[in-house]
Amino acid sequence: MTLEVAFDPYAPDLHRLPWVEVTDLAQAVGGTVHGDGGRVRGAVIDNRAVRGGELFVAMPGFHVHGAKFAADAASRGAGAVLSDPAGMAFLTDLDIPAIIVPDVASVAGQAAAIAFNRPCQQLSAWGVTGTNGKTTTTYLLRHLLHRVGHLSSLVGTVEAAVGKKTAPAFITTPQAPQLQAFAATTVQENVHHMVVEVSSHALAMGRVDPLHFACVGFTNLSQDHLDYHGTMEQYFQTKASLFSQQRSDRQVIIVDGVWGQRLAEQLERSGQHDFVTLSLTGRPADWQGKIIELDGGFTELRLRAFDGKEASVQVRMPGTFNAINAALAIVMVVTGLSPSPRQLDGDILRHLTVNPIRLDVPGRMELLCEEPRVIVDFAHNPDSTKVLLDTMRISTKGRLLLVMGADGQRDPGKRPILGQIAAELADFTYVTDGDIHEEEPSGIRRDVMAGMKGYEEKFVEVAPREVAIERAILDARPEDTVVITGRGHESIMFTPEGQYDLDDRVVAREALSKRN
């Protein structure tokens, strides 16, 4: 019997990497070496991931300092430790060398890039950022790159995939050493393009450093993550940093929202003129897109470039927002692969649009049943919830029933706004738990319901989530639509008491089986 080994996208073959002298590495990151010489190949941020010879990147975290695990990393065979003055307290009696720098996060990517033999220099990286649509656009990018003959790896909220191998994701954009490890795996699998979903947290925490993207795209910006960024301005500037020439060669920006327009103006003012703009609402832009609604909830997307090149393609994915995501992905591939952003390769545009675009993205508009229609979707902020409910309303014959909640320990300011959108746009809402994390769930639900004042007859509070999903599905009439938002593809519920398996799709299917 052969045991199948699970694919670990963050564990490239270390034997295929050259050794790096610790003194050279220290010099490159401006660190001082404590202990004798030594050498490393590869890098990890978790002691439990050490296989032998890696640099253990010991960063301070929100809960613990990584250096606390340095001795264990050494016992597992780590070649050296990278840490900071605060971490040194844990490094006494260590029998491997340590590189000490003032701030580990700011050099972790660079150190890991060197330890993995600079994998990103051997591939083209594509990045997508924005509040909504990142995951979907990265899937579309990967699909379209394939259409023009380029295999790519993909790392984002749902999965980390290289070729046909895939592993579930635990975070949207991995920590810098993991991203470099993922790039090394990509290179070792002979894949030359890497598509990255770039979160604002990642940009703020230096997780994509020192990656230089071949092409990046901006979807949109609306309220989210203000618990971390504080203000919309700060959130915007963090996202905007991906579009500087220090970080990316080519940039595509949707300018239909005020933040996209600001991004374009900001780049223009800074003397960066080569970026490409895209509008789907008739605003002045390099690329114009027009979305025509077709029967069945699908769309036809017509694109016209600044040089007169035109294409049209059917997007067989529900919702105009998916046509917008497809437009961004198409323009990114044409922009990224053409000789220059202003000298387009018409063959690429033709190849990309010759066949309809149809792609299932796990937990995004995932259709579980036609009658009643039951959809699981990842919408978990005000804008995506509004866009989703507006979209579903068009094709709902009966009532639009919504199962929703908000996440614990995440941007409490958006909770009443989510409640208000639900109250205004759904016919009936089952207010339940989102991802609880380490917060008391009834308080989260109360925050959501604070936005539903005056609509008391249009919602009910039901917890736990499984019960709310079941109740909505059993209440639904055949002509109704049940939309279950907030967790999409996620399969683990985090609570203060621990974690347990909870997949909305599994719960919904079980409930559907109880309808006679």
Ligand X SMILES: CC(=O)N[C@H]1[C@@H](OP(=O)(O)OP(=O)(O)OC[C@H]2O[C@@H](n3ccc(=O)[nH]c3=O)[C@H](O)[C@@H]2O)O[C@H](CO)[C@@H](O)[C@@H]1O[C@H](C)C(=O)N[C@@H](C)C(=O)N[C@H](CCC(=O)O)C(=O)O
Pairing of strands 248-254, 213-218: parallel
In the complex with ligand X, which residue's Cβ is closer, 99 or 313?
Answer: 99
Least Å distance between CB 268 and ligand ATP? 23
The annotated binding site for ATP is made up of 130-136
**Bridge partners, 369 (sequence order):** 374
Interface with ligand X includes 408 (CB under 6 A)? no
Which residues would be at the binding site for ligand ATP (CB under 6 A)?
A: 132-136, 157, 172, 219-220, 321, 324-325, 364-365, 377-379, 383-384, 387-388
- CA 68, CA 91: separation in Å to the nearest integer? 8
CA distance 161 to 195: 10
Q: Does residue 202 interact with ligand X by CB under 6 A? A: yes
d(CA 78, CA 398): 61
Residues making up the chain, counted from first to last: 516
Stretch that binds ligand X, among 57-65, 120-128, 354-362, 450-458 (CB under 6 A): 57-65
Q: What is the smallest separation between the CB atom of 175 and ligand X, expressed in angstroms? A: 4
Q: How far is CA 332 from CA 20, 83, 110, 152, 394, in A?
A: 36, 38, 27, 14, 30
Count of CB atoms within 10 A of residue 485's CB?
A: 24
Identity of the residue, 82 or 507, whose beta carbon is nearer to ligand X in the bound complex: 82
Nearer to ligand X, 206 or 341 (CB): 206
* Residue 341 CA from chain centroid, whole number: 25
Q: How many residues bind ligand X (CB under 6 A)?
A: 17
153 binds ligand X (CB under 6 A): no
Closest CA to 388 of 81, 132, 102: 132
> Which lies closer to ligand X via its Cβ, residue 175 or residue 429?
175
Task: For ligand ATP, give the closer residue by CB, 110 or 157.
Answer: 157
Q: Which residue has the tokens 């990497």?
A: 17
Interacting positions 60-89 with ligand X (CB under 6 A)? 61-64, 66, 69
What residues form the annotated binding site?
Answer: 130-136, 172-173, 199, 207
**Angle between the 258-269 and 232-240 helix axes, to the nearest 10 degrees?**
50
Asked if the peptide bond before residue 210 counts as cis, ω within 30 degrees of 0, the response is yes
Binding at 85: pick from ligand ATP, ligand X, none (beta carbon under 5-8 Å per type): none
Q: Which does 124 bind (CB under 5 to 8 A by kind): ligand X, ligand ATP, none?
A: none
Kindly identify the residues of this chain, within the stretch 163-192, that bind ligand X according to CB under 6 A: 171-173, 175
The CA-based angle 118-160-29, given to 5 degrees, is: 30
Region of 45-53, 75-83, 158-166, 180-188 interacting with ligand X (CB under 6 A): 45-53
Q: Shortest approach of ligand ATP to residue 128 CB, angstroms?
A: 8
Nearer to ligand X, 10 or 287 (CB): 10
Determine how many CB atoms are found less than 10 A away from the CB of residue 376.
27
DSSP state for residue 167 in the 8-state scheme: E
How far, in Å, CA of 190 to CA of 296, rounded? Answer: 40
Cβ atoms of residues 215 and 250 within 8 Å: yes
Which position's Cβ is nearest ligand X?
A: 61
Segment contacting ligand X by CB under 6 A, of 39-47, 271-279, 311-319, 487-495:
39-47
**Residue 377 binds which entry of ligand X, ligand ATP, none, with Cβ cut-offs from 5 to 8 Å by kind?**
ligand ATP
**153 close to 163: Cβ distance less than 8 angstroms:** yes
Q: How far is the CB of 277 from ligand ATP (least distance, A)?
A: 16
Residue 256 or 407: the one with the smaller Cβ distance to ligand X is: 407
Q: Which of 17, 45, 276, 359 binds ligand X (CB under 6 A)?
A: 45
Q: Which does 213 bind (CB under 5 to 8 A by kind): ligand ATP, ligand X, none?
A: none
Token pair in block for residue 348: 């690429």
Q: Which is nearer to ligand ATP, 71 or 379 (CB)?
A: 379
Distances (CA, A) of 397 to 30, 242, 299, 351, 457: 64, 43, 19, 37, 21
Looking at beta carbons only, is 202 or 301 nearer to ligand X? 202
Q: Any idea what DSSP says for residue 3? A: P
Q: What tokens appear for 395 in the block?
A: 């094709």
Which listed option, ligand ATP, ligand X, none, makes contact with residue 62 (CB within 5 to 8 Å by class)?
Answer: ligand X
Binding site partner of 136, from ligand X, ligand ATP, none, Cβ cut-off 5-8 A by kind? ligand ATP
Site string for ligand X, 102-141 (x = CB under 6 A): ----------------------------------------
CB-based contact 227:221 (threshold 8 Å): no
DSSP letter string, 404-434 = E---TTS-GGGHHHHHHHHHHHSSEEEE---
List residues near ligand X by CB under 6 A. 45-47, 59, 61-64, 66, 69, 171-173, 175, 199, 201-202
